[in-house]
Structure 1
């Protein structure tokens, strides 16, 4: 299958590109490299373009004529979205509309969207399944849900088969430490931030909120290994062979992990201590959020295979073996 991957030089995108190539698909990556890395997609054609620029994106679609699109390109920080709402709507919503217009124009048949559990906000019941109310608590979550609705409308109007993958917290790195997450001083993702603190690159790891209604007072999340997540994208793309399979799909391990439990796992793997301080809760951060992943298994035969120890161990090996990943 000819697959165009927007944002394919980013974290989850680059792992998915590897999986697509290994499965025999023909792949072209589109990325503006604002956060992506050229070296993450060596051996795959990379076209520099911005999804906000239809004139720049159009020739890529016209020349490659993709049969399928996996759409990763987006901004992804709930906290940042509160400070820069306009940019988030411009990239995540208008950018997605531009991609969908090009799909309609060039006859793309399948569309896999990198959505987020942020569409649920703070779920009323966990684990959360795809029938749960959608109540985003940040502009970021709102942009993801608006994009989902737009994708569904294009699907209904054009026959585009689609899946909106609501995944939870991507983490980890390749087993051989050949690829992972690049997370510099401005990183907000918990695991790389914790690694930075453990290595002395930051004075301490701040825990935002230790008064949640959880066993240890810290927020509960669902961490999923990036390799499992990449495999899910490929499995879903290949499985979109009927209209009945279209719609939202949760991707997670279905096992809640608290902030303190993740820090303890890092201490175990690294055999080092992590200095921790506490800070008030951040706006837009739910206290409880983990997936019911059963639909992904029943509809596409996918489930996560790697546990928390594997997630933390591969991340630690990647960051310590690749100092540039933390610069």
Structure 2
């Protein structure tokens, strides 16, 4: 198939591109390299250095004529969304509308959209089902949720098929610890460089971590399944931040102690997403335990640091 991937130079989407190329699909990447990296770009893919809000994106769609679009390009920093909500909305909402317009105008069959657990806000019960109340706590959460409604609207108006994937806390190779790096990439970077590790609160807060290779598998499944569905992509497993830190130290075979800081206002205490629908609709299950994913991730960063 001909598949266009937005944000294909970034952390998650570059892994998706690699898998698509390995499976002999024709792949086109649209990425402005604001956070994506040139070295992440698979040389077998066609690459356009373009912002998803650009009017020239339509020319790319017309030239490449994709059958499916996998949409990952986004502003992903919660902090930046709070400090500049207009820019956040411009990229995540207006950018997605531009991509949807291009899909409609060029006859794209389906869009797969990377959404986020941030759309839920404070969970009323765990694990969080897709039918749970949607109440984002940040402009970022809102700007990831709003495109979901636009995607469903374009489906109703124009027949564009979709699968919306709501990721829990992603981690893995190529995740940048700077900017809005996940807690795992930040911990790992600080542990490898012997910097202070800070944990906000008492460390009992929990998260549901999903390995990037599991996310890739979900996107591959969504190429042919999950028509007009919204599904969580998660391990449906909680681990506390304190336990996570201890597991990473064990794998690295080092003895380190974190510094506990004041709890951050607005942080969710406990988080876990149900993956029941992913299993039933996509036939997907996570293949990696957190320990396995951490070992692979840590090995990758140790090798590039040598």
Superposition TM-score, scaled by structure 2 size? 0.95
Q: 1:123 to 1:99 in 2, by over 3 A?
A: same
CA–CA separation in structure 1 for the residues paired with 2:35 and 2:300: 18
CA–CA separation in structure 2 for the residues paired with 1:6 and 1:146: 18
- 1:191 to 2:184 alignment: yes
Q: 1:228 to 1:114 in 2, by over 3 A?
A: same
- 1:205 to 2:187 alignment: no
CA–CA separation in structure 1 for the residues paired with 2:82 and 2:261: 18
TM-aligned CA deviation for residue 80 of structure 1 = 2.6
- 1:255 to 2:276 alignment: no
RMSD over aligned Cα atoms: 1.5
CA–CA separation in structure 2 for the residues paired with 1:283 and 1:65: 46
CA–CA separation in structure 1 for the residues paired with 2:303 and 2:81: 32
Q: Deviations over 1:220-278 (max 9, x none)?
A: 111111001011011112225xxxx3131100001001101110110110011334112
- 1:181 to 2:167 alignment: no
CA–CA separation in structure 2 for the residues paired with 1:222 and 1:163: 21
CA–CA separation in structure 2 for the residues paired with 1:36 and 1:111: 21
Q: Deviations over 1:3-30 (max 9, x none)?
A: 1000011011011111212222211111
TM-aligned CA deviation for residue 56 of structure 1 = 2.2
Which residue pairs with 1:51 in the alignment?
52
Q: Deviations over 1:17-69 (max 9, x none)?
A: 1121222221111100111112212222111100121x221211010011110
Which residue pairs with 2:68 in the alignment?
68
- For structure 2, the residue ranges without an aligned partner over 5 or more in a row are none
Q: How does 1:89-104 map to 2 (within 5 A)?
A: 89-104=89-104
- For structure 1, the residue ranges without an aligned partner over 5 or more in a row are 174-179, 211-216
- 1:300 to 2:290 alignment: no
Which residue pairs with 2:208 in the alignment?
222
Which residue pairs with 1:321 in the alignment?
303
Q: Is the partner of 1:322 in helix, strand or coil?
A: helix
Superposition TM-score, scaled by structure 1 size? 0.89
Is the CA contact 2:17–2:42 (under 8 Å) kept in the aligned structure 1?
no
Is the CA contact 1:78–1:284 (under 8 Å) kept in the aligned structure 2?
no
Which residue pairs with 1:22 in the alignment?
22
How many residues are aligned here? 305
- 1:132 to 2:132 alignment: yes
Q: Deviations over 1:104-161 (max 9, x none)?
A: 1111110000000000111110001111111111110000111111111011111111
TM-aligned CA deviation for residue 201 of structure 1 = 5.1
Q: Is the partner of 1:125 in helix, strand or coil?
A: coil
Highest RCO, 1 vs 2 (Cα 8 Å, sep ≥ 6): 1
Moved more, 39-48 or 274-283: 274-283
CA–CA separation in structure 2 for the residues paired with 1:273 and 1:149: 47
Stretches (4+) displaced over 6 A? none
Which residue pairs with 2:82 in the alignment?
82
